[in-house]
Amino acid sequence: MRIVVPAGGTGGARFVRGLLAALAEAGEPADVTVVGNTGDDITLWGLRVCPDLDTVTYTLAGAIDEAKGWGRPDETFTVRDELAGYGVLPTWFGLGDRDLATHLTRTSLLASGATLSEATATIAARWGLPGLGVTLLPMSDSPVETHVLVQHPDDPAGAPPRLVHFQEYWVGLRAAPRALDVVAVGAEQARPAPGVLEAVAAADVVLLPPSNPVVSIGTVLAVPGVRAALEASAAPVVGVAPLVGGAVVRGMADRLLPALGVEVDAGAVALHYGASLLDGWLVDTSDVHAVAPVEQAGIACRAVPLLMTDVPATARIAAEALRLAEAVRA
Amino acid sequence: MRIVVPAGGTGGARFVRGLLAALAEAGEPADVTVVGNTGDDITLWGLRVCPDLDTVTYTLAGAIDEAKGWGRPDETFTVRDELAGYGVLPTWFGLGDRDLATHLTRTSLLASGATLSEATATIAARWGLPGLGVTLLPMSDSPVETHVLVQHPDDPAGAPPRLVHFQEYWVGLRAAPRALDVVAVGAEQARPAPGVLEAVAAADVVLLPPSNPVVSIGTVLAVPGVRAALEASAAPVVGVAPLVGGAVVRGMADRLLPALGVEVDAGAVALHYGASLLDGWLVDTSDVHAVAPVEQAGIACRAVPLLMTDVPATARIAAEALRLAEAVRA
Q: Quick one: closest CA in A to B112, which residue?
A: A46
* Ranges A117-131, A172-186, B98-112, B187-201: which has the least confidence: A172-186
pLDDT at A184 over 90: yes
Nearest-Cα residue of chain B relative to residue A88: B105
Q: Select the residue of A47, A97, A122 nearest B88 (Cβ to Cβ).
A: A122
Nearest Cβ partner for A104 among B89, B102, B105: B89
Tell me the nearest-neighbour CA distance from B125 into chain A, angstroms: 9
In this prediction, what percent of chain B has a pLDDT beyond 90? 94
ipTM: 0.92
- The whole-angstrom distance between A47's CA and the closest CA on chain B is 9
Q: What is the pLDDT of residues A21-78, one digit of tens each?
A: 999 999 999 999 999 999 999 999 999 999 999 999 999 999 999 999 999 999 999 9
Q: Does B249 have pLDDT greater than 90?
A: no
Residues 6 or more apart whose Cβ sits within 8 Å of residue B122: A86, A88, B105, B109, B114
List the one residue out of B197, B207, B271 whose CA is nearest residue B232.
B197
- Name the percent of chain A lying above pLDDT 90: 94
pLDDT surpassing 90 at residue A309? yes
Mutate to test the interface with A, among B77, B79, B95, B102 (most CBs of A within 10 A): B79
Task: List Cα–Cα distances, B268 to A13, B246, B260, B292, in angstroms.
Answer: 67, 10, 11, 12
Task: Please indicate whether, in this complex, the C-beta atoms of B85 and A98 are within 8 angstroms of each other.
Answer: no
- Provide the pLDDT for residue A319: 98
Candidate from A170-184, A281-295, B294-308 with smallest mean pLDDT: A170-184
pLDDT of residue A89: 97
User: Is residue A250 over pLDDT 90?
Assistant: no
Per-residue pLDDT at A252: 79
Chain mean pLDDT for chain A: 96
Q: Which residues of B touch A47 (CB under 8 A)?
A: 46
SS (H, E, C) A197-212: HHHHHHCCEEEECCCC
pLDDT for the residue numbered B254: 87
Chosen for mutation from A82, A98, A118 (greatest number of chain B CBs closer than 10 Å) is A82
Is A108 in Cβ contact with B89 (below 8 Å)?
A: yes
Q: Which amino acid is at B14?
A: R
Contact (CB<8Å) A82/B76: no
Predicted local distance difference test score (pLDDT) of residue B230: 98
What is the CA A124 to chain-centroid distance, rounded? 16
Q: What is the chain A residue with the closest CA to B97?
A: A79
Mean of pLDDT values over A143-161: 94
pLDDT for res A253 = 83
pLDDT of B94 above 90: no
**Confidence label for B126 from pLDDT (cuts 50, 70 and 90):** very high
3-state class (DSSP) for residue B12: helix
Name the pLDDT band for B255 (thresholds 50, 70, 90): confident
Say what percent of chain B tops pLDDT 70: 100
CA distance A309 to chain B (A): 30
Query: Under DSSP, is residue B9 helix (H, G, I), strand (E, B) or coil?
Result: coil
Q: Name every chain A residue with its beta carbon within 8 A of the beta carbon of B47.
A: 46
> CB contacts < 8 Å between A and B, how many?
86
Cα–Cα distance, A188 to A138 (Å, whole number): 16
Contact (CB<8Å) A126/B102: no
Residues in B whose CB is inside 8 Å of some CB of A read 45-47, 76, 78-79, 82-83, 85-89, 97-98, 100-102, 104-105, 107-109, 111, 122-123, 126
How far, in Å, CA of B204 to CA of B14, rounded?
Answer: 21
Q: Do B97 and A108 touch (CB under 8 A)?
A: no
Mutation target vs B (from A58, A72, A77, A88; most B CBs, 10 A cutoff): A88
> Which chain B residue has the Cα nearest residue A119?
B88
Q: What is the mean pLDDT of residues A256-285?
A: 96
| Per-residue confidence (pLDDT) for residue B282, from 0 to 100 | 98
Mean pLDDT across the stretch B283-305? 98
Report the pLDDT averaged over residues A296-301: 98
Question: In the predicted model, is pLDDT for residue A116 greater than 90?
Answer: yes
Contact B213, B242 (CB under 8 A): yes
Q: Which of A76, A86, A100 sits opposite B76 (nearest CB)?
A: A76
Residues of chain A with C-beta less than 8 angstroms from the C-beta of B104: 45-46, 79, 83, 89
Instruction: State the pLDDT at residue B253.
Output: 83
Return the CATH fold of A3-142+189-329.
Answer: Rossmann fold (3.40.50)
pLDDT band at residue A150, thresholds of 50, 70 and 90?
very high
Cα–Cα distance for residue pair B267/B278, rounded to 1 Å: 12
Helix axes B51-60, B10-25, angle to 10 degrees: 30
> What tens digit of pLDDT does each residue of A6-33 get?
999 999 999 999 999 999 999 999 999 9
Best residue in B44, B76, B99, B108 to probe A by mutation, most A CBs within 10 Å?
A: B108
User: What pLDDT is recorded for position A7?
Assistant: 97
Q: Could you tell me if A306 and A248 are in contact, meaning their C-beta atoms sit under 8 angstroms apart?
A: no
Q: Is B5 left (phi over 0), alpha (psi -120 to 50) or beta?
A: beta
Average pLDDT over residues B65-85: 96
- pLDDT at A84 (0 to 100): 97
Q: What is the pLDDT of residue B93?
A: 85
> Distance, in angstroms, between B16 CA and closest chain A CA?
23
CA A141, CA A118: separation in Å to the nearest integer?
Answer: 9
Residues B58/B43, Cβ–Cβ less than 8 Å: no
pLDDT exceeds cutoff 90 at B250: no
Strand partners, B150: B162
Average pLDDT over all residues of chain B: 96
A235 in Cβ contact with A203 (< 8 Å): yes
Architecture field, domain B3-74+103-142+189-329: 3-Layer(aba) Sandwich (3.40)
Residue A112: closest CA among chain B residues belongs to which residue?
Answer: B46
| Partner-chain residue, chosen from B85, B101, B107, that has the shortest CB–CB distance to A79 | B101
CB atoms within 10 A of CB A42: 18
Q: Is B221 a residue whose pLDDT tops 90?
A: yes
In chain A, which residue's Cα lies nearest the Cα of B119?
A88
The pairing of beta strand B181-185 with beta strand B145-150: antiparallel
Q: What is the pLDDT of residue B155?
A: 94
How far off is chain A from B103, nearest CA to CA, in Å? 10
**Length reported for chain A:** 330
What does each C-alpha distance from B102 to A49, A66, A89, B98 come to in angstroms? 19, 31, 11, 8
pLDDT at A240: 98
Task: List, in order, residues 6 or more apart from A77 with CB less than 8 Å away.
Answer: A94, A96, A97
